[in-house]
Chain A
Amino acid sequence: MSELLAIENVTSGYGESVVLDDVSLRVNEGGSLALLGRNGVGKTTLLITLMGLTRLHGGTLRWRGEDLARLSTHERARAGIGWVPQERSVFPSLTVEEHLTAVARPGPWTIERVYAMFPSLASRRRNFGGQLSGGEQQMLAIGRALMVNPSLLLLDEPMEGLAPLVIQELRGIILDLIATAQTAVIIVEQHAKLALALTENALILDRGRVVHQSTSAQLLADPATLHRFVAVA
């Protein structure tokens, strides 16, 4: 598989402060990566750095061989990065349908396909973002990112605060995306075992640095490392 995204020796943060320190990772076309670690170790900062919303102090970001850091935030989305932000961040002033049409870009993902994947969104298409339940908001955030027709999906704690049944449903959907849609995925998750079961590769951050890198299966079989760096539920 060819390289989609490569992060090399990236140091980034907010203003003068440094959150990520010398981080490197690589994601192939259609690949999947679980990004693990305790609260506040820089997982979200890593995703936000990919979106160009932090200050890049050093290192390189490569997207299909090109320099990603030169692109502005909206150009990165258009280049094929689908961002599902933490806490979902649906737009309160937009209806469900408007969430999907406002960001739509041409490609295999259409509004019909998103509704087919999330039938509960179809039945609430005229509702405003703020009127949805937590699970529906999460589905909307994922559907919205898919409408950008991304080659890489960034999922920032998609299961956070959801009921177990909803988590089960979402789990199936994400698995489906990884398996069939040929969309690469980086998933940040507190539920480490859940994320590892979904993904191919795993990476653990601690205090802004990469402390472990392996396949997800290897990490699942290594409870000592999991316990040391990740809160295991």
Chain B
Amino acid sequence: MVAHLIGVLFDGISYGSLLFLIGVGLAVTLGLMNFVNLAHGAFAMLGGYSTVLVMSRYGVPFFLALPVAFVVSAAVGALLERTLYRRLYRASHLDQVLFSIGLTFMAISAATFVWGPTQQPVRVPSFLQGQVQIFGLDFGAYRLFLIGVVVVITLALGYLVERTRFGAQIRAAVDNQQVSAGLGINVDRIFCLTFALGSGLAGLGGGLGIEVLGLDPTFPLKYIVYFLLVAAVGGAGTISGPLATALILGVFDVAGKYYVPEIGAFVIYALMIVLLILFPSGLFGRRA
């Protein structure tokens, strides 16, 4: 019983970690640029396909394929930000939604055209397969690895945003774009770099997540609701909010599907509605 509970908690946390890694970029785009980017999942998918491609075609090992996924998604993110997204920063949310959902459909079609509609396999290194015994309990090795990676990235991200000059400039731009620009901060450049970072993290999450979430062309639509929940409930523009939300989301999703399978898929939606009623500006509302 207790072992089950710990197992569910562990699976939920590793699942939530992955949701955070992919969703944090969306939270930042929403908070910093006030842009509703429904195509965010497509950047995660791009990272997933990049991972599969460089591994199968060029024999790149898994651990090197992940940074490639980050770089490819970040580069494509930066390119699209410069050419397309920035034109819509001042547009209405409806325009942004229509644009980014259109981009999502294009990504789905392109992925189907190139890779076909089937699930893509990924071969993770053998030592990440199977179980690891800790205190007599079995834990999935890959899920432990996943949690470890996300812990490291979260710490690095926290350091970047809270401790560096670049991070202070990001926060200044979130607080007040015009005043930031009026004090010499290149807000356009910050937007581009931040967008690229968020896309890159989504791409990394897409690569890491193949083993957990799977990878097929419908990926960007299938999971966008989760990423949006992470951003919306977490409170746009912060890191701790989306992190907490993603972990709650992960744990309750896994627990719901395990303990009450008949209604499991609905548990998180009910939970998120309650959370949004209780904390309308996000779990960790912006510092005021």
Contact = CB atoms under 8 A, between A and B. Distances in A.
Given A74-B184, A74-B187, A102-B165, A89 B171 contact: no
A85 B175 contact: no
A73 B173 CA distance: 13
A144 B169 CA distance: 13
Contact of A130 (B172, B187, B287): B287
Interface in A199-214: none
A225 to B, nearest CB: 32
Given A91-B172, A91-B175, A130 B288 contact: yes
A63 interface: no
A93 interface: yes
B168 A94 contact: yes
B168 to A, nearest CB: 4
Contact of B165 (A51, A73, A101): A101
| Chain B contact patch, size range | 20 to 34
Contacts of B112: none
A103 B287 contact: no
Interface string A71-90: 01110111000010100010
Contacts of A46: none
Contact of B186 (A74, A85, A89, A145): A74
Interface of B: 165, 168-169, 171-172, 174-176, 178-188, 286-288
14 contacts: A73-B178, A73-B182, A74-B183, A74-B185, A74-B187, A77-B183, A78-B184, A92-B286, A92-B287, A98-B168, A102-B172, A102-B185, A130-B288, A148-B183
Given A53-B178, A74-B182, A101-B168, 13 more contacts: A53-B182, A73-B178, A74-B185, A89-B176, A91-B176, A93-B171, A93-B172, A93-B175, A102-B165, A102-B168, A103-B183, A130-B287, A148-B183
